[in-house]
Every structure is written in C-alpha cells, then in structure tokens.
Structure 1
Amino acid sequence: MKFSILIANYNNGKFFKDCYDSIIAQEYTDWEVVIIDDRSTDDSVEIIKKIIGGDKRFVLYENDANYGVGVTKAKLIEDATGDVCGYLDPDDIIRPKALKSAVEVLKNKKDVVLTYSRLAKCDQNLNILSEFKSARQVPNGQDTFFNFPIQIAPFVAFRRDVYLKGKKINPELKIAEDQDLYFKMYEVGKVHFINQTDYLYRAHAGGISQNDNKAKSYSYYARSIWEAMQRRNLKQINGKQIPQSYSDPQEIFDLLEYQNKIPFRIRKKITIFLQKLFS
C-alpha cells in the first residue's frame, strides 16, 4: 500500500529541511512525496530542489500562477500515484510512526476511508508548546456531524481511490479546504482515530493562524459546513431552519451551538461507545 505525502508550498522553503528529515525518518518505507509550489515569491523552489536532489521518490511541480490552496491541494491528489494520501505542510513535520500507523488501520479495516491522529503546536524551533487534546474518535454515519468543535485534525490519511470516485475538494476555498475534504470522506465511509501525536505544527509569523487569514478561515469553514448540509439534504438542524443560501458564517455556527452543550455531548459519547462495541 503506497502512501503519497502531499505538500503544497508557498514561501515556506526555509522550513522544508525539517519536513524532509521527518519524511526520511518514517518507519513505513513505501511512500512518495508530491510537492506543488504555488508560485512562491521567495527562493523556495531552489531550496527544495537542492534538498531533494536526485531522489526519485520526490516530485516537484510548479504552478504557472498563484492559484491558492484549494486548487493546489486538489491537484496534488490528482498528481499522486499512491493508494493513500496525506497532507503535510512544508513548515511542519511528522513523527516516525505517522505513515505506518495510518496504513495499518487502512489495511485491516476496509470500511475505514480516513484516519486521523493528534497534532501538537510548536514554536518556530519545533519545541512543543501544547497538544491538541480535543482529538478523539467521532461518531460515524451521522448527517449532523460537522467536526464542530474540531476533533478531526492532522495527521490525516485517506484512501485516494475513494476520494477520486466521490466529491472533490472545492477549488474555490482559499482556507479550510481540509474541512471540506473531511466532510466529503466522512459521507462515504468510516473515519478512525489513532490515539497518538503524529503531527507537529510549527507556529511562526508567516503561518495561516498567525496572520489575517485566521479571520477568513472562520468564514470558509462555515461555508464548508453549509455546503455539507446541502449535500446531505438537511432542511433543519436541532429544530432550526438551515438558510437556503450562504452569507453569514455566524448564522451557520449558531445552528451548531447545541453541539457544545452537555446533553448532546453525552449522547455522542454513548453513540461512540456503542459503535466501538459492535464494530
């Protein structure tokens, strides 16, 4: 089972050596790396080319214009040749067991289409600041699941053939394209949580959550939720009407506020327990 590590780069070449080293250190060895540079304005392409050298497991493509993350990440899947795909940002790293753990689940559980583990937030030098404690198994097969609050997060691996047969990433999304992917994979199969920290996320001045993109991500995330509601033919949620068109992100998140409350969380835990018991 070949694993395609997918890297969308824009002006992050200066961090790529750490990313590269973490890939080379993987315990699972049947992998390829597909990189697309989204028209960086720095020397990223030259840095990446120098690091990967003549290693044929790495393939580097360059966009002819800056298309954005939605277009670039969708194209990465198309360009990959592996059975399983997983995104890795060029400024982040994965731990040695990341690929192996995901592949083991996907080999043994044929109904699972996506796996996810836990990430840790790090400083610019990859010293761990905090772990993402909200990551845990979510209930499968529920029309009202929208990863709210967020529980599915990197490191995420998914079956490429299942993705290609279904709905694709919305190329119009500039941020939150990962949520769009999670929703679409969730709709066609089971997702499985691997209880270990595999992904180290580097916080730095140029990162998405450190600049003005953070506010935009809120809107794109809400849009992904609304589009999922439409695909699932939902008219109401928790007794409230779902808008026929998307305009206000807060309106979408207000619909889901009940999922933060204790009664819903208790029901969810019971559902997850029963699904584990009878799986």
Structure 2
Amino acid sequence: MKFSVLIAHYNNADYFKDCYESLQQQTYTDWEAIIVDDCSNQAEKEAVRSIIEGDSRFIFFENESNQGVGYTKRKCIELANGEICGFVDPDDAIFPTAIEKSITTFQNKKNVVLTYSRFLACDENLTPLYPFKSAKQILNNDPYFFNFPVQIAHFVAFRREAYLRTEGIDPSLTSAVDQDLYLKILDLGSAYFINENLYKYRLHPNGVSQAKSKGKAKDSFAKVIFNTLKRRNITSINKKTVPENFQSPQEIFNLLDYQTKRIYRLKIKILTFFQSE
C-alpha cells in the first residue's frame, strides 16, 4: 500500500530540509512525495530541487502561475499515485512512525477513510513547545460534525479513492482548505484518532497559515461549514434554520454555538466512548 506525501510549496525552502529529512527517517518505506510549487521565486525552487536531487521518490511539479493553496493542494492529490495520501507542510516535519501508524490503521480498519493524530507545536528550530490538546476521537457518522471546535488536525491521512468520490478541494479557497478536505471525506466513512504525536508544527513569522488574518480564515471556515450544511441537505440545526445563502461567518458560527457547550460535549464524549471501531 503506497503512501503519497503531499507537499504544497510556496517560498519555504529555508525550512524544507527538516521536512525532507523527516521523510527519509520513515519506518514505512513504500511512499512517494508529490511537491507542487505555487510559482515560488527561482531561488526557492532551485533550493528545493537541490535538496531532493537524486531521490526518485520525490516528484516536483510547478504551477504556471500563482494559484493559491486550495488549487495547489487539489493538484497534489490529482498527481498522487498512492492509495493513501497525507499533507505535510514544507516548513513542518513528521515523526518516524507517522506513515507506518497511518497505513496500519487503514489496513486493519476498512471502514476508516481518514486518520489523524496529535501534534506538537514547535519553535522555529522545531524544538517542541507544547502539545495540541484538543485532538480526540470524534463521533463517526454524525452529520452535525463540522470540526468546530477543532478536533481533527495534523497528522491527517486519507484514502485517495474516497477523496475521488467527492467534488474535491475547492480550488478557490485561500484558507480552511484542510477543513474543506476533512468534511468532504467524512461524508463517505469513519475517522480514526491515533493517540500519539506524529507531527511537528513549526511556529515562525513567515508561516502562511499563521500570517493570514484571523478574520479571513474565520470567513473561509464559515463558508466551508455552510457548503457542508447544504451538501448534507441540513435545513435546520439545533432548532435554528440554516440560511438559504451565506451572508456572514458569525451567522454560521451562531448555528453551531451549542456544540461548544459543556453538556453537548459531554453527550458526544459518552456516545463516542460506546461507538464501535
């Protein structure tokens, strides 16, 4: 079972060496790495090419013009050959057993279409700072799950076959791209939480997701949730009517406000505990 590591790159060559080395250290060896460069400057592209030179497992593609992260991540999946895929940002890294743990889960649990793990937030040198504590096993087959608040995060892997049965990542998105991916794939099967740190998330001033305005990211996430409501034919939620058209992010998040309440979270925790794997 081949694993496709998907890397959407844009001017991140300074940190890519750590990402590359973490892939070299993987205990599972049947993998490829698809790098799609979103029109980085020439020096950045040459630096990445220099690092991967001579390793046939790395395949480097270039967008003809800058298209944005949604288009680029969608292109990564289109070019992948593996049965299982997972995104790794070029400025991050994964633990040596990350791919092996994911592959083993997919081999043993045929109903699982997506796996995810814990991750460590790290400083600019990838020195661990603190763990992401919100990751937990979600309640599967729940049409009202929208990853709000966030529980599914890095390291995420998914069955490519399942993804190809969706409409795919929205190429127009400039943020909340991963949320769009997760919610579409979960329409088709179950998720499994690997309760280990498998991903190192680097915090640094030039990080794309970190530099984007919070307001813009919130707006994109709300649109992803709104589109998911429509795709799932949900017209009301918690006795509130879903609007016909998207008007504001706050209107969408107000619909889901009950999911942040303690009593609801306790209910979901109990149901998740008793669900079969």
Q: Quick check: TM above 0.5?
A: yes
Partner of 2:205: 205
Quote the sequence identity (%).
Answer: 50
Alpha-carbon distance between aligned partners in 1 of 2:69 and 2:195, rounded to the nearest angstrom: 28
**What amino acid maps onto 2:52 in structure 1?**
I
Query: For 1:250 and 1:113, how far apart are their aligned partners in 2?
Result: 30
Aligned: 1:152 with 2:117: no
Alpha-carbon contact 2:37-2:45 (below 8 Å) kept: yes
- Contact in 1 for aligned 2:122/2:130 (Cα 8 Å): yes
Q: 1:251 Cα shift?
A: 0.9
- Tell me how far apart the structure 2 counterparts of residues 5 and 226 of structure 1 sit (CA, whole Å): 29
Cα distance, 1:166 vs structure 2: 2.1
Q: 1:84: which partner in 2?
A: 84
For 1:5, what is the secondary structure of its paired residue? strand
Aligned partner of residue 40 in structure 1, secondary structure? coil
C-alpha displacement of 1:272: 0.3
Q: Aligned residue for 1:223? A: 223
Aligned to 1:123: 123
**d(CA) in 2 for partners of 1:88 and 1:44?**
18
* 2:51 counterpart of 1:51: yes
Q: Secondary structure at the match of 1:201?
A: strand
Displacement of 1:209 = 4.1
CA distance in 1, matches of 2:206, 2:41: 13
What's the CA shift string for 1:67-96, capped at 9, x where partnerless? Answer: 001111001101010010000000000000
Residues 28-177 of structure 1: matches in 2 within 5 Å? 28-41=28-41, 43-177=43-177
Give a deviation string over 1:131-183, Cα, whole Å, max 9, x none.
10000000000111000110000100000111112221111111111000100
Q: Could you report, residue by residue, the CA deviation over 1:75-118 in whole angstroms, capped at 9, with x for unpaired residues? A: 11010100100000000000001000000000000000000001
Q: Secondary structure, in 3 states, of the residue corresponding to 1:47?
A: helix
1:4 matched to which residue of 2?
A: 4
Q: Is the 8 A contact 1:11 1:42 kept in 2?
A: no
Tell me if structure 1 keeps the 8 A contact 2:117–2:153: yes
Letter in 2 for 1:174: T
The CA deviation string for residues 2-35 of structure 1, in whole angstroms up to 9 with x for no partner, is: 0000000001011110000000000000000000
Greater alpha carbon shift after TM alignment, 254-263 vs 208-217: 208-217
The letter for the 2-side match of 1:39 is C
The letter for the 1-side match of 2:45 is V
Task: Name the counterpart of 2:257.
Answer: 257
Read off the aligned partner of 2:84 and give its amino acid letter.
V
Q: CA deviation at 1:210?
A: 3.1
1:54: Cα distance to partner? 1.6
Task: For residue 117 of structure 1, give the secondary structure of its aligned residue in structure 2.
Answer: strand
What is the TM-score with the length of structure 1 in the denominator?
0.97
2:164 partner SS: helix
- Structure 1 unaligned regions, length at least 5: none
Distance across 2 between alignment mates of 1:122 and 1:11: 20
Deviation at 1:270, TM superposition (A): 1.3
8 Å CA contact 2:31–2:57 kept in 1: the answer is: yes
Distance 1:51 1:256 in 2: 45
- Residue matched to 2:269: 269
TM-fit CA distance, 1:208: 2.9
- Which amino acid in the other structure matches residue 226 of structure 1? F
Q: Which residue pairs with 1:20 in the alignment?
A: 20
How far apart in 2 are the matches of 1:255 and 1:172? 24
Do 2:175 and 2:209's aligned partners in 1 also have CA atoms closer than 8 Å? no
| Distance (Å, rounded) in 2 between the aligned partners of 1:210 and 1:182 | 20
Which stretches of structure 1, 4 residues or more, deviate above 4 A after TM superposition? none
Separation in structure 1 between the aligned mates of residue 61 and residue 208 of structure 2, nearest angstrom:
22
Counterparts of 2:77 and 2:71 in 1: how far apart (Å)?
10
Cα deviation for residue 42 of structure 1 reads 5.7
